Structure 1
Amino acid sequence: MVNWKRGRGSFSIWLLILVLFALREIQTARHKHEMKFTVVATSQALLDHIAVALIDDIFWGSYYKSSHQFAVKAAWISEALGANLTEEMQHLVLDHERGYQFFIHHLTRNDTKIERNHTLQIRFDCELDGDIQLSSLAKYGLDGEDLIQIEGLDGQWVVLNPRAHSFKFIAESPFWTEVRKFYNKRYCVGAMQKILRNSSMKENLPPDVYVSRQDFPNGTIRYSCTATGFYPPSILLHWKKGSDGAIWGKENSSGTLPNSDDTFYLRISLEIQPEDTGTGYACVVDHSQLETPAVYPGTTSEAQLEERFSSSIASPAIDLQ
């Protein structure tokens, strides 16, 4: 039987210090913009072209060859970008269709089956912390195989597939280097900054956290700590035992996954062997919308858990002081 509760508890002061240091990597101002392009074509003709744009894993814009229109998710995003930038991005996607066709033709020029369909995948992304750019990436793939990529504005192109050696010389030319840097500044960083500064992609929300315990006939205990409904997606969720923080079990993570309402979900499970009584375990949670880390103890008594669950009284987690 699985029971759910919201718990309260505390850790020792020195453990709190260790946790706070671990949480320094969570930055409320960090955002990532991704633009993904998928092109289907033969060496002679472009058949389909789809593009999507996401900020912090939230979809905000798209392009479909069937409509020849770059569309945004909401009217406020159009207002945030402004008419000029939106129109530029529309023309940019259309103009690049010819370039993508040339790219596929160039890479497949030695194929004997000229009518064979090929799929070109391109990814551009950039990451900011406030107004400081942390990273950028441009990556190309063909028919499910990575071809070539570059990380950082001043990085070097890395060939991942021999077919891309000839393209490397083109990509490294001064002209295309400046074009890539301009695109990063104008359409990746610039568009993201306009959207984030003029509106909000999603209301920032703290996680709802639930701890469950499941007892198996062989004596094994499984604890699960679930955080859901939070935004932004950066979160720290892990199990600790006692004041020494030792873990004596197998820990599994669902990974941070999107909910249907554009919030996020994460579940960490811990399986404890029969020789362990299961006492002293707690889930540590930190998120940008929590002032301090919160601790949700695992249960030490199924009867106590059942009593709390039946009463339908959810006690909020206590913030560490």
Structure 2
Amino acid sequence: MLRLLLMTLLCGGFSAASHSLRYFYTAVSPVPDVPEFVTVGYVDEEPIDYYDSETRRTVPRQQWMEKSQGPDYWEGETQNLRGDEQVFKANIQILEERTNQTGGVHTYQVMYGCELRDDGSISGFCQFGWDGDDLISFDKDQEVWVTPVTWGQLTKYKWDRDTAMIQDWKIYLEQTCITWLKKYVQAGQAQHKPGVSPEVSFTSSADGRQLACKATGFYPQAIDVTLLQDDRVLGETRSHGILPNHDGTYQLTRRVEVDPSDPAQFSCRIEHRGLDEPLLLFLDRKAGPPVLIIVVVVVLLILVAITVIGGFIWWKKKAGSNGYNPTKTSEKGESSSNSSATA
């Protein structure tokens, strides 16, 4: 459930041309073999650190993150999250009683972070959830907490009166978070070449009903992949969003359903900092028949091979019945951080 939530959040909500720093905390009522408290931090689409109640240590998830922060940083984060762990576990019990749900498995979560856009504007958010539904969120402009559920009013009343907590969140989301985001982005970019261009492929499914344009191996993550039909932008496309590769680069695949009998010219346009100019790739509809011919030839060769081998085996059996015994071989084969507040 946690992975599904994270993927949903990662695939939307932020512009590909911006930078974001986000944290996800999840507390779960006791379940065998499942950590009761887990946190993950992200810069853009890359996980940068991780903590859980089993290891009770904050650890880096990127080499550049480990190199850019010293031992004092990781020790400080560990101590902060150990404190948050206790608060989150206590809130699980408080909310179970408040919602009359003392049995079963329940989750208490917080998502918070900030975004720095290309135009220089910023945004920040902080949202708490209970069992996958909204519990309470922070309106930093109005400096109040907002809840959509009646049983969240007690928490709202308590947190609205805590003016120090409100100011801490406002300063963090508007200043501290942005400062750290800039530091992390700078540290991450130092590891990569500026503007690594994408490798692009534009393919069609076997029945011709689905087109897919994939760009991979690019850095930074900001990219624009557009599918066109006779120079007209196709709006009904699907994508899982920008995803990280193992080497620190990114990938993006955009798909669209089409009529295979449509004679239009389909193309894929890619714009990225690593490209001197936008790349335009056209779909080659003539690539289908040669592939079919190759498949047919391969099948024929296999049939011929089967026929030859079968004939050879039959000949050996025939020879054996006439007094010829081939030499026997051996039968033995060989194989070669700001989220701790009680509800």
Which among 228, 231, 252 is matched to residue 240 of structure 1? 228
Partner of 2:65: 77
Following superposition, the deviation at residue 266 of structure 1 comes to 2.2
Native 8 Å contact 1:54 1:60 kept in 2: yes
Give the secondary structure class of the aligned counterpart of 1:239: strand
Q: 1:31 aligns with which of 8, 13, 19?
A: 19
How many residues were matched structurally?
Answer: 271
Q: How big is the shift at 1:115?
A: 6.2
Counterpart among 285, 309, 312 of residue 270 in structure 2: 285
The superposition leaves residues 215-251 of structure 1 with CA deviations (integer Å, 9 ceiling, x where unpaired) of: 63xxx554322112223333221222335x265x964
Separation (CA, whole Å) in 2 of partners of 1:61 and 1:160: 31
More deviation in 48-57 or 283-292?
Answer: 283-292
Residue in structure 2 matched with residue 273 of structure 1 by the alignment: 259
Matching of residue 138 in structure 1 with residue 123 in structure 2: no
Contact 2:224/2:271 (CA < 8 Å) preserved in 1? yes
- What letter is aligned with 2:196? L
Worse overlay, 72-81 or 33-42: 72-81
2:286 to 289, 292, 301: 301
Counterpart of 1:40 (choices 28, 33, 39) is 28
Judged with a 3 Å threshold, the aligned counterparts in structure 2 of structure 1 residues 97 and 250 are, in CA distance, closer, same or farther, namely closer
| Cross-structure match for 1:194 | 183
Which amino acid counterpart does residue 290 of structure 1 have in structure 2? L
Taking the aligned partners of 2:133 and 2:216, their CA distance within structure 1 comes to 35
Greater relative contact order: 1 or 2 (C-alpha under 8 angstroms, separation 6 or more)?
A: 1
Q: Aligned partners of 1:59, 1:34: CA distance in 2, in Å?
A: 9
Report whether the alignment pairs 1:210 with 2:206.
no
Q: TM-score, normalised by structure 1?
A: 0.70
Are residues 1:175 and 2:161 paired? no
CA contact (8 A) 1:56 1:232 kept: no
Partners of 1:283 and 1:276 in 2: CA distance: 17
Change (3 A) 1:195 1:113: closer
Matched residue, 1:228 = 216
Cα 1:237–1:304 change in 2 (3 A) is farther
1:253 corresponding residue in structure 2: 239
Q: How does 1:148-159 map to 2 (within 5 A)?
A: 148-150=136-138, 152=140, 154=142, 156-159=144-147
In 2, are the aligned partners of 1:80 and 1:194 still within 8 Å (CA)?
Answer: no
What RMSD in Å do the two structures reach over aligned CA positions? 3.4
Measured against aligned partners, the alpha-carbon deviations of 1:118-161 in whole angstroms (never above 9, x if no partner) come to 32111111112379452111111112222112355656433133
Larger Rg: 2
Tell me: CA distance 1:152–1:132, structure 2 relative to 1, closer, same or farther (3 Å). Answer: farther
Q: Normalising by structure 2, report the TM-score.
A: 0.66
Write 1 or 2 for the structure with the bigger share of strand. Answer: 1
Tell me how far apart the structure 1 counterparts of residues 119 and 233 of structure 2 sit (CA, whole Å): 39
When structure 1 is superposed on structure 2, of 281-290 and 175-184 the one drifting more is 175-184
* Larger fraction in helix: 2
**Distance in structure 1 (CA, Å) of the matches to 2:136 and 2:77:** 24
Asked whether the 8 Å contact 1:128–1:134 carries over to 2, the reply is yes
Aligned to 1:91: 79
Q: What is the distance in 2 between the residues matched to 1:131 and 1:282? A: 30
User: Which whole-Å CA distance do the structure 2 matches of 1:197 and 1:38 have between them?
Assistant: 28
Q: Which string of whole-angstrom CA distances, capped at 9 and with x for unpartnered residues, describes residues 242-299 of structure 1?
A: 35x265x964434333334343322223333255213x32111112322332111122
Structure 2: where are the runs of 5+ without partners?
1-14, 292-343
